[in-house]
Amino acid sequence: MLAQEKLQEITPLTREQLAELMPSAQGLLSDEPEMEHSLHALQLLILVSCLTRIWQDRNDYFLSWNLTVYYSRDQLKTKDFHGPDLFLVKGVENRPRPSWVVWEEGGKYPDLIVELLSESTAKVDREEKRELYQRIFRTPEYFYFSPETLEFMGLRLRGEKYEEIPLTKEGWRWSGVLGLYLGIHNQQLRYFFPNGELVPTPEEAEKIERQRAEQERQRAERLAQKLRELGVDPDTL
């Protein structure tokens, strides 16, 4: 893990300096550990699948999970820091990548990061990673959530420092990056549309569509029955 004192020594390099150091990103593969708990894997699946579904017509973002972000000479040498649990970069081509290499991506860092807390990582996520994302990445929004304790925090960059994103009366926090709220629903971190509706998972969306189709079928059947009672054959209309 990245120690606090090491973080203070890190100086981000310019895109040109990093390119000179590592001309190609071909050998920089992601080097991330497995999820610690099945709840973490399920939570990531929900966040990724929901956003991917409602943004299915967009090709101007990169959303990834458990993928290494390479950004500095010190990190390349020591490998002290691994990637966020989930991160989003806007304004880039939506294509597969083996890792996120800042100097190969026009110097772009994540616009939004979500970390899932666990007993072993909570202190690092709250303190060391917060400092890294605030001072080095300059990531506009940082959220963290514990699938086990339901601890939930949202931070927005204001000047040089993160400030807490205020809670709504429902207990949600607004993400300007996403244009959505994030909040806890059934003990899971979920997205909500600006009007307050829950962003459904693909499975939930499919169920809703089936229910709507069944309601429409029943409505059509009631209308047909009414026409028959009036002596009109609905099949002739």
pLDDT tens, 112-148? 999 999 988 899 999 999 999 999 999 999 999 999 9
Residue type, 83: G
Q: Which residue type occupies 13?
A: L
Residue-wise burial string across 6-19, b where 16 or more C-beta atoms lie within 10 A, e elsewhere: ebeebebbeeeebe
Q: For the chain, which ranges sit under pLDDT 70?
A: 1-37, 75-82, 214
What single DSSP character describes residue 150?
-
Measured CA to CA, the distance from residue 181 to residue 196 in angstroms comes to 8
Strand boundaries in the chain, DSSP class E: 61-65, 69-70, 86-90, 100-101, 112-116, 141-145, 152-158, 161-164, 173-175, 180-185, 188-192
Global pTM? 0.77
pLDDT at position 227 is 74
Cα 169 to Cα 192: distance, rounded to the nearest angstrom? 14
Q: What single-letter amino acid sits at 170?
A: E
Greatest CA span in the chain, whole angstroms? Answer: 86
Closest CA relative to residue 25, chosen from 106, 91, 88, 118: 106
Task: Give the separation between CA 229 and CA 213, rounded to whole angstroms.
Answer: 24
The DSSP call for residue 43 is: H
∠2-150-195 over CA atoms, to 5°? 110
Q: Is 52 helix (H, G, I), strand (E, B) or coil?
A: helix
